[in-house]
Amino acid sequence: MEILTSFIKNNIKSHFIRQKLKSLFYLIFDRNLYKAHKSYTFTDEKLKFTHILEAINYIRVAELPNSYFEFGCHSARTFSAAARSARYLKMSDMEFYAFDSFEGLPEVVKEEDGFFKSSSFSTNMPDFLRLVKKNSGLELPKSNCIKGYYKDSLTPKAMSKLPKAGVIHIDVDLYSSTVEVLEFIKPLMICGTVLIFDDWYCFPPGESKGEKRAFEEFCIKYPNFKTEVWKNYSTFGKSFFVTNLP
């Protein structure tokens, strides 16, 4: 069983196909694991996609900038969910921007980042664009994909071409990456911008690391910056509304 599941994980590129094969495998060989897998898929996908739909609908109703920024875009799942949501809500002027190395995570510092591993979560740009088109119908321009590790790609020049932010989805996993993202988006946020962190609760209680630590330090550095907690985002995440600018 372990050999087959490892093969599925490492050799099938499509996340959707991997999930379907796992479901079929567990259904045939282990009904208990099938039930667990279905529950995991529900929390890791459907609950996430629902929250993203809610965030897109919120900026529509609140008449905030129709723009979606995603930092950390591996597998195109959440990015596609945002594009589907805007299409469903008839937000034809919605703008989408993807920020990723498209080569996996940079160097990981275990003491700051915990579970995550360097070079993991890699989806190259051609595959990402193809998956977004397939899963949402959106033909994302390459110019809306800001490629590279954040220390190199998040430049003043890149920022100057961007609109104000409606929804910002931060799934960069690492403390250092989150620090870079928050500094970059500081001038792009407005009152009402939605911040969604994917990896907020990835550490033992009382330990401030990863995305959570970076956000807490950002709030201390800019005491005028205020947020209102919205709610938890699937299993490990958390979302906020920006209420006062840094």
Q: Provide the 8-state DSSP code for 146.
A: E
pLDDT band at residue 49 under the 50/70/90 scheme: very high
Of 182, 169, 171, residue with least CA distance to 219: 182
Place of tokens 């379907």: 20
pLDDT band at residue 11 under the 50/70/90 scheme: very low
Residue 16 CB coordination number (10 Å): 14
Q: Does position 10 have pLDDT exceeding 70, yes or no?
A: no
Percent of the chain with pLDDT over 90: 66
> What token pair was written down for 92?
């034809």
Query: Is 13 a member of any domain?
Result: no
Query: Which helix H or strand E contains 230, and what residues bound it?
Result: strand 226-233
Which CA distances in Å does 161 have to 69, 143, 153, 157, 158? 13, 10, 13, 7, 6
* CB burial of residue 200 (10 Å; 0-12, 13-18, 19+): buried
* Structure confidence at residue 3 (pLDDT): 47
Query: Is 2 a member of any domain?
Result: no
Q: Does position 64 have pLDDT exceeding 90, yes or no?
A: yes
Instruction: Please measure the distance between the N-terminal and C-terminal CA atoms of the chain and give it in whole angstroms.
Output: 52
* CATH number for position 106: 3.40.50.150
pLDDT band at residue 38 under the 50/70/90 scheme: confident
Give bridge partners of residue 71 from the DSSP assignment: 99, 170
Query: Is 221 a member of any domain?
Result: yes
pLDDT band at residue 179 under the 50/70/90 scheme: very high
* C-alpha to C-alpha distance for 75 and 62, rounded to whole angstroms: 30
* C-alpha to C-alpha distance for 178 and 206, rounded to whole angstroms: 19
Of 239, 222, 243, 223, residue with least CA distance to 231: 239
Query: Is 7 a member of any domain?
Result: no
Query: Is 224 a member of any domain?
Result: yes
Q: Does position 234 have pLDDT exceeding 60, yes or no?
A: yes
Q: Provide the 8-state DSSP code for 161.
A: T
Helices (H) and strands (E) in the chain, counts: 11, 7
The structure's pTM equals 0.84
* Structure confidence at residue 41 (pLDDT): 78
* Structure confidence at residue 202 (pLDDT): 86
Q: How many domains does the chain have?
A: 1
- pLDDT tens, 108-167? 555 554 555 554 567 899 999 999 999 999 999 999 999 999 999 999 999 999 999 999
* C-alpha to C-alpha distance for 116 and 173, rounded to whole angstroms: 7
Q: What is the mean pLDDT of the chain?
A: 86
Query: Is 187 a member of any domain?
Result: yes
Phi, psi of 108 (to 5 degrees): -100, 140
Of 75, 105, 81, residue with least CA distance to 15: 75
Q: Provide the 8-state DSSP code for 239.
A: E
Which structural domain, as residue segments, surrounds residue 63?
Answer: 49-244
Query: Is 61 a member of any domain?
Result: yes
Query: Is 198 a member of any domain?
Result: yes
